[in-house]
Amino acid sequence: MKPILFEIPIPSFLPAWLGGGESLVFPSYYVMLSISFMVAIILAVRYGEKNGLNVNHVLDVCLFAIIGVLVGMRLFFVIQKWEQYLVPFRWDKFLRIFKIWEGGIVLYGGMIGGILFGLAAAFWRRMDVPKMMDVGAMPIGIGMFFTRIGCFLNGCCHGKLTLVPWGVSYPPESLLFKAHKARGWLPPDATGSLPVHPSQLYESFMGL
Are 147 and 168 within one domain? no
Give buried/exposed letters for 101-112 (b at 16+ CB in 10 A, else e).
eeebbbbebbbb
What pLDDT, in 10s, does the model give residues 74-87? Answer: 998 888 888 888 88
173's enclosing H/E stretch is none
Task: Please state the domain count of the chain.
Answer: 2
Residue 187: half-sphere exposure toward Cβ, Cα within 13 Å? 3
Mutual angle of helices 107-124 and 55-80, in 10-degree steps: 140
Question: Which amino acid makes up residue 139?
Answer: P
Quickly state the pLDDT bin for 3 (edges 50, 70, 90).
confident
Rounded mean pLDDT, 29-55: 93
Are 40 and 134 within one domain? yes
Are 68 and 117 within one domain? yes
Question: At residue 17, does pLDDT exceed 80?
Answer: no
Are 126 and 189 within one domain? no
In a domain, 208, yes or no: no
- Residue 187, CA distances (Å) to 165, 182, 184 in order: 21, 11, 8
CA distance 43 to 134: 12
Are 142 and 179 within one domain? no
Question: At residue 64, does pLDDT exceed 80?
Answer: yes
Domain limits at 176?
A: 161-199
In a domain, 109, yes or no: yes
CA distance 100 to 153: 18
More confident residue, 208 or 151: 151
Please, are residues 32 and 2 in contact by the beta-carbon 8 Å criterion? no
Phi and psi for 21 in degrees, rounded to 5? 85, -5
* Per-residue model confidence (pLDDT) at position 87: 80
CA distance 91 to 78: 15
List the one residue out of 200, 47, 208, 63 whose CA is nearest residue 125. Answer: 63
* Per-residue model confidence (pLDDT) at position 85: 83
Are 149 and 77 within one domain? yes
Question: DSSP code of 194?
Answer: P
Rounded mean pLDDT, 192-198: 94
Are 188 and 152 within one domain? no
Give the 3-state secondary structure of residue 69.
Answer: helix
* Per-residue model confidence (pLDDT) at position 100: 77
In a domain, 23, yes or no: no
Are 194 and 138 within one domain? no
Are 153 and 165 within one domain? no
